[in-house]
């Protein structure tokens, strides 16, 4: 009986053109995936920066609220020069008992979160008397924090303006 279809002489191998086409397709797919992976990594770092800033700013606000409560309940006496904000970020970690308002020093952070875009440097800080967008810190208290990174976010804004 005669076969209708011819059988390839080497059915286990691939021709050179099949290999070239396969490599080209894999290369095209890889070139499409790499930029997406870079954007995903940057977006993850941006989420970490937002979370860190929110955590620090919430701790500063809680510190100020406890100061105001301690003054209101007459546990401490406020000087006219005191703003109620921490003198540095370490005070948020070490805590304060506010003249007996709490039986123990209340800690606001376990540790100071890191800046994912500038991990070697400390956070930029602004005092209560500083301008809202001031790059300098008067050193008297910490009213706000910002990233010292000079990079630009995916939305085109500078991380230092967040």
pLDDT tens column, 48-64: 999 999 999 999 999 99
Residue 49 lies in a domain: yes
CA distances in angstroms from 43 to 40, 47, 64, listed in the order given: 5, 6, 32
- pLDDT exceeds cutoff 60 at 2: no
Residue 114 lies in a domain: yes
Residue 101 lies in a domain: yes
Residue 58 lies in a domain: yes
Closest CA to 52 of 134, 127, 129, 109: 109
Output the pLDDT for position 35: 81
Residue 147 lies in a domain: yes
Number of domains in the chain: 1
Beta carbons of 145 and 109 less than 8 angstroms apart: no
Selected residue with higher pLDDT from 145 and 103: 145
Which domain does 63 fall in, by range? 16-161
- Report the distance separating Cα 61 and Cα 8, nearest Å: 77
Q: What are phi and psi of 78, to 5 degrees?
A: -90, 135
Burial class (CB in 10 A: 0-12, 13-18, 19+), 141: buried
Share of the chain above pLDDT 70, in %: 93
Output the pLDDT for position 139: 87
């Amino acid at each position: 009986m005669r076969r209708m279809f011819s059988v390839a002489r080497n059915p286990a191998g691939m021709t050179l053109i099949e290999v070239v086409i396969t490599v080209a397709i894999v290369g095209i797919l890889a070139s499409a995936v790499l930029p997406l992976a870079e954007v995903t990594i940057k977006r993850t770092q941006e989420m970490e920066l937002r979370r860190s800033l929110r955590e620090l700013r919430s701790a500063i606000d809680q510190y100020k609220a406890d100061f105001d409560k301690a003054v209101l309940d007459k546990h401490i006496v406020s000087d006219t020069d005191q703003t109620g904000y921490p003198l540095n970020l370490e005070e948020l970690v070490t805590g304060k008992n506010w003249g007996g308002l709490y039986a123990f020093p209340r800690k606001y952070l376990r540790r100071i979160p890191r800046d994912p875009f500038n991990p070697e440097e400390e956070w930029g800080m602004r005092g209560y008397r500083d301008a809202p967008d001031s790059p300098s810190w008067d050193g008297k208290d910490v009213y706000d924090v910002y990233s010292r990174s000079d990079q630009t976010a995916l939305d085109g804004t500078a991380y230092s303006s967040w």
